[in-house]
Structure 1
Amino acid sequence: MTLNVLPIPVDEATLQARLKTLDAFEAQLAGSIQWQECESAAAYRKMRREGLNGFQAPALNPNARTVNVQGRDGYQIELRIIAPKEKQSRGVWLHFHAGGFVIGSNASYDTYLTTLSDRLGLTMASVDYRLAPEASFPKPLHDCVDAALYALSPAGEKELGAPLKVLGGESAGGWLAVSTGLSLHRDHAVDVRSALDAIVAGYGIFDLTYTPSLLQHTRNIVLSKQGMMDFCEAGFGHIPMANRKDPLISPLYADLKDMPAALFLSGNIEPLLDDSVFMATKWQQAGNSTELTVVNGACHAFTIIPMGDATDQGLDIIVDFVQRKASK
């Protein structure tokens, strides 16, 4: 099976405009408050959520609703549901938000999820999984797997209004999307290749011992080398580095056989670029349908933070992939 690396040419003027935007964005972020500088991660989340200290509160979809799911240890997992406005939903995308396992929520990216819902005709169900450092691995993964098991159940399909078709997320959410799919197959005997159309993993981390692109990264556009490591230590710091090649921690080392089709999407100015490249290669080598797309002049989070035509291109790539896999 051939790894389908989709070449997307960008003319020089467009590329230079993107690079200029990234330079300006990096300068703008240089003095921003980091979660490590706050009294607690919870205090930082509150500032982001409420638009305090220079942050802009996320725009919310007024038509979103919530569903609570019982987790395995009694935790109530909230799903935030956004349905297509003008068409019947043909399925559910279970979404895992970005935020380095530490920040963000299922209400952080309503604009992005609403766009995908309307363009794909899918119901987006975003998981409010528990966050580090208060809840470190494996609790966030347990929440996501339990949410997926609910979505696959008759009761879940009835409540959500459609069958589960896609697991997808960005950054830490990319790790959660892949790890949830692996857990469903490994631990719960779910035939994920038949049950799901696709997994969509945007600029995820898949090796918690760190890949060369992270170790050599020098810029700080949304995410720096040290920032990513701080996030990982908050979520996985209780696990010695020598043990982090365990497939439960670093899915790059997992048995990837019999998994659904997957899109691994990244920009080329990205500390986690190698994670997507390596994971796509391993996914393909295991016999799974795989596409890897690297967008020139795009940085971390380029699909969920508005960055002009690079964002538009990223969304088009996701929509095209999921639409094609829905007709399999």
Structure 2
Amino acid sequence: MAPLTIETPHVAAEVLEQRNSLLDKFEKGSSQQPQVLRDADAAAYRKMRAEGTNGFVPPRFLPEAENITIRTRDEQEMKLRIVRPTSGKSHGCFLHFHAGSLVFGSAAGQDFYLARLANDLGLTAVSVDYRLAPEYPFPKSQEDSVDAALFALSSAGIEKLGGPLRLLVGESAGAYLAVRVALSLRDHHNVPVAHKLAGLICSYGTYDLSYTPSLLSHTRNIIVNRENLQLCTEAAFPKLSTMDRRDAKYSPLYADLRNMPPALFLCGTEDPFIDDNVFMASKWSLVGNHAELKLIPGAGHAFTLIPAGEVQNAGLSEIVKFAKALLLL
């Protein structure tokens, strides 16, 4: 068993009050937006988000970001979004898996977030435009993500992306995919991930698709709510019962987690997936892997992705601190 670092950073009462006010603001905004798979089908919902209609804010794009395409195992073209550091030389790359409950989101949805990490870490950000449910149910998202990792590990990928693959990074469903990719590389592609990768950075991920107590008891609608998370899970894993989804090939909390790289599990205390992260960090450590669990007081879901000032910076600082320590090893 490896030591598990658990930290809930102290914040002043006035800062916590500000964070709670921000959560109230986000909840008011979320209540005025259509809900995916309840009020709109997946395609219509993605269109609203991309165009900034119905209360959504459209994504902002960096003009210097690049798109390249690779071939998937079923001979489809898949886009990778490349954001290179501008403040110095790149010393490799990190593979990024975007949020969106495996139903929405895209590789081009978080350019500024990726640029900050790219510059702070001196790595090229490579975001994966994996296929989405319900049109492409699981395991397509995992297969596409693994194919992107195999490309990044190849000599052609190292040349194209400016250096070796160092980190797997993801938020929400993307954190789930980061873990699934590491497991698949180890189990199906003979990649010694504990030595090949510096680490994983997993922000507010879901790891038990049969639902943890914190999700089942979650009553707020801050960016996400219990109903839409469950609707998306059922769309991504159709024809599977809740108990079926406890199988290790779906829920990584039930997988053999031995010989995994160091991992950061970052989550807000107001996030419906807080139990997933507490449980996953504990199991990661119990089998001998290095794990750090950082719980940010007064932070809700997606807090590192949303321009939210102080609380966003608090989360990004934890990511950068953890990653820099790994990259120096």
Gap change, CA 1:119 and 1:154, over 3 Å in 2: same
In the TM superposition, what is the alpha-carbon distance from 1:91 to its structure 2 partner?
A: 1.5
Aligned to 1:36: 37
1:115-130 mapped onto 2 (5 Å cutoff): 115-130=116-131
- 1:278 maps to amino acid: F
1:103-114 mapped onto 2 (5 Å cutoff): 103-114=104-115
1:217-256 mapped onto 2 (5 Å cutoff): 217-256=218-257
What SS does the aligned partner of 2:182 have? helix
Given that residues 8 and 297 in structure 2 are in contact (C-alpha distance below 8 angstroms), is that contact kept between their aligned partners in structure 1? no
CA distance in 2, matches of 1:68, 1:194: 28
- 2:75 maps to amino acid: G
Post-superposition Cα deviations, 1:8-54, rounded to whole Å, max 9, x if no partner, equal 11011100111011112211221111222455311211121122233
Aligned to 2:327: 326
Q: CA RMSD for the aligned pairs?
A: 1.0
Aligned to 1:288: 289
Aligned to 1:170: 171
1:179-194 mapped onto 2 (5 Å cutoff): 179-194=180-195
- 1:206 maps to amino acid: Y
Given that residues 33 and 54 in structure 2 are in contact (C-alpha distance below 8 angstroms), is that contact kept between their aligned partners in structure 1? no
Aligned to 1:157: 158
CA distance in 1, matches of 2:146, 2:293: 25
Indicate the structure whose relative CO is greater, using CA pairs within 8 Å and at least 6 residues apart: 2
What SS does the aligned partner of 2:175 have? helix
Aligned to 1:268: 269
Number of residue pairs matched?
328
Percent sequence identity is: 47
- 2:209 maps to amino acid: L
1:52 correspondence with 2:53: yes
CA distance in 1, matches of 2:51, 2:31: 21
What SS does the aligned partner of 1:298 have? coil
* Structure 1, unaligned runs of 5 or more: none
CA distance in 1, matches of 2:118, 2:131: 24
CA distance in 2, matches of 1:83, 1:327: 20
In the TM superposition, what is the alpha-carbon distance from 1:306 to its structure 2 partner?
A: 1.7
Given that residues 182 and 260 in structure 2 are in contact (C-alpha distance below 8 angstroms), is that contact kept between their aligned partners in structure 1? yes
In terms of mean alpha carbon deviation, does 42-51 or 271-280 score higher? 42-51
What SS does the aligned partner of 2:293 have? strand
In the TM superposition, what is the alpha-carbon distance from 1:239 to its structure 2 partner?
A: 1.9
CA distance in 2, matches of 1:212, 1:171: 17
* Structure 2, unaligned runs of 5 or more: none
Post-superposition Cα deviations, 1:198-231, rounded to whole Å, max 9, x if no partner, equal 1011000000000000011111101111111011
In terms of mean alpha carbon deviation, does 83-92 or 315-324 score higher? 83-92
TM-score by length of 2: 0.98
Given that residues 37 and 232 in structure 2 are in contact (C-alpha distance below 8 angstroms), is that contact kept between their aligned partners in structure 1? no
1:215 correspondence with 2:219: no
In the TM superposition, what is the alpha-carbon distance from 1:324 to its structure 2 partner?
A: 0.2
CA distance in 2, matches of 1:77, 1:316: 31
What SS does the aligned partner of 2:101 have? coil
Post-superposition Cα deviations, 1:222-268, rounded to whole Å, max 9, x if no partner, equal 11111110110110122222211111100001011110000000000
What SS does the aligned partner of 2:221 have? coil
Gap change, CA 1:215 and 1:38, over 3 Å in 2: closer
TM-score by length of 1: 0.98
In the TM superposition, what is the alpha-carbon distance from 1:111 to its structure 2 partner?
A: 1.1
